[in-house]
Amino acid sequence: MKILVIGGGGREHALIWKLSQSNKISQIYCAPGNAGIAELATCVPIPANDLDALLAFALKEEIDLTVVGPEEPLVNGIVDLFSEHELKIFGPSKLAAEIEGSKTFCKNLLKKYGIPSGDFASFDNIDDAIEYIYHHGAPIVVKADGLAAGKGVIVAQTVEEAESAVYTIMRKKAFGAAGEKIIIEEFLDGEEASFLVFTDGDIVIPMVTSQDHKPIFDGDQGPNTGGMGAYSPAPVITDGLFRRIMNDIMIPTVKAMAAEGRKYKGVLYAGLMIKEGIPRVLEFNARFGDPEAQPLLMRLQGDLLPVLEACITGHLAKAMVSWDERPAVCVVMASGGYPGAYEKGKVISGLEAAGKLEDVMVFHAGTTTNEKGEVVTNGGRVLGVTALGATIPEAIERSYEAVKLISWPGVQYRRDIGQKALKRLQHF
C-alpha cells in the first residue's frame, strides 16, 4: 500500500514511525514533512492547507490511504474532497470537523445533548462581550471561536484582563480570522487531562489516558502554547472516571454528531477538566493531539493501519487495539522566544546520541536541513523527545536523559513534565 500523511510536526512523525512498522505498507509519503520524517518517508513540498495540490498528488501517485494530521485541512474539507474522488482518507468530514473548527458549534452541541461542560456565551460584537464580562466577573475564559493553533485561549484572572483579551482577539486580530467571533466561558478549575478515542461513527474505542502541558513555563506559568509535553497514562483518570468519561462524554458526543447528520469518523479528542472526580469538557479536537500522539503511539501495540481502515469502513468493532503497559513521557524542546517570535536555522546537536538510547524516540516537529545537510530548527516546537519506562518516574528520567544530550542556541523546555502524575502517585 502507498500511504500519504499530511502535516509536518511531531504528531505526523509519530504517525509515520508507527505506520512504517506495518508490513502491508510499501511506500509512505509526507506533505510537507520535516528532517526527521525524511528518514522514514518521502517528503513532498506541498503545504498541509493546499488541498488541491494534495489531491492532485494523491491521484497522480495512486495513494491507497491518506492520513490527515493537523486540524486545518480537516476543517477546510479535505476528507470530503478526497472522498468525492474515491480516495480513501482517515479523518472526519468538514461537517464533523466543525466540532473543533467552531467552539460555538461545539458548546451548543454539548448543551443541546446534556454533555457536561461549562457555561458560555458567543459574541461577534466587542461591546456586548465586555458587558457580559463585567456582568459575570472573573476569573473567566476568552477564546477565539476558530482555529488558533492551540494559542487562542486566554484565562483572565480579572475583568480588566478579560476586557484586554477581547480587544486583543477582536480588534488587534491576534489570531486573524479565527477571532472574528469569540466565546466567553465559565472558568473551570481542577486538573486537565486528554481523552482520545477511535470511532467509525458508531463504535467508540478508547485510547489509554494522557495529559498535555499547555503553558510555556514550569508550574503551568506563562502563555499557552501548542503543548510543551505530555505523558500517558494520566493518574488523575481512575478506572471509575474512565468509564464515566466514556459513558457521559465520548459515546454521547459521537451519538450526538450522528443525530445532527454529522457522522464522526476518525480520532476524537476531548480536553477535559477534572475536579473532585467529575469530568467536564473544555473543548474537542478532531484529530490526534500534539504532543499527546507521541506517547500514545509509543504505547500502541500492533499495526495501526487496520485500525485506521476500520474507522473509515465502519468495521471498528472487529479491530484489535492493545497497549503497552509501560508509561511514556514526551518532553517538547522549543525555540527560544516561542510562543512569541523566534529565530529559525539554529543547528541542532546531539540527535544521534539521544536516538541511541533504549526506548527513546526523538520525534521531529519544527526541523529542516540546511545547505550543509545539518538538521536545523524550523519552527516554535522543534522536537518531542519521548521515552518509555517501567514506571512514570523511569519514563520521565529517560526522556530528560535524552533531552540533556540535545542542544542548540536558545533552546527552551519545561523541566517539570510528568510532575502532576508523580504527585498523584505519591498521594495514593
Q: Residue 58: pLDDT above 60?
A: yes
Domains 125-180 and 191-323 share a fold: no
Please choose, from the candidates 70, 246, 89, 62, the residue with its C-alpha nearest in 3D space to the C-alpha of residue 148: 70
For CA atoms 330, 231, 15, 274, the dihedral sign is negative
pTM: 0.94
- Tell me what the pLDDT averaged over the chain comes to: 94
Task: Report whether CATH 3.90.600.10 matches the domain 328-427.
Answer: yes
Confidence of residue 417 (pLDDT cuts 50, 70, 90): very high
Contact of 11 with 21, CB cutoff 8 Å? no
CATH superfamily of the 191-323 domain: ATP-grasp fold, B domain (3.30.470.20)
> Which amino acid is it at 16?
I
Q: Could you read off the pLDDT of 331-381 as tens digits, one per residue? A: 999 999 999 999 999 999 999 999 999 999 999 999 999 999 999 999 999
CATH number of 125-180: 3.30.1490.20
Instruction: Give DSSP secondary structure letters for 42-109.
Output: EE----TT-HHHHHHHHHHTT-SEEEE-SHHHHHTTHHHHHHHTT--EES--HHHHHHHH-HHHHHHH
Q: How far is CA 109 from CA 53, 116, 252, 400, in A?
A: 33, 11, 11, 41
Q: How many CB atoms lie within 10 A of CB 304?
A: 21
Q: Could you read off the pLDDT of 168-181 as tens digits, one per residue? A: 888 888 888 877 88
Task: Report whether CATH 3.40.50.20 matches the domain 2-91.
Answer: yes
Question: Can you give the residue ranges of every domain in the chain?
Answer: 2-91, 125-180, 191-323, 328-427
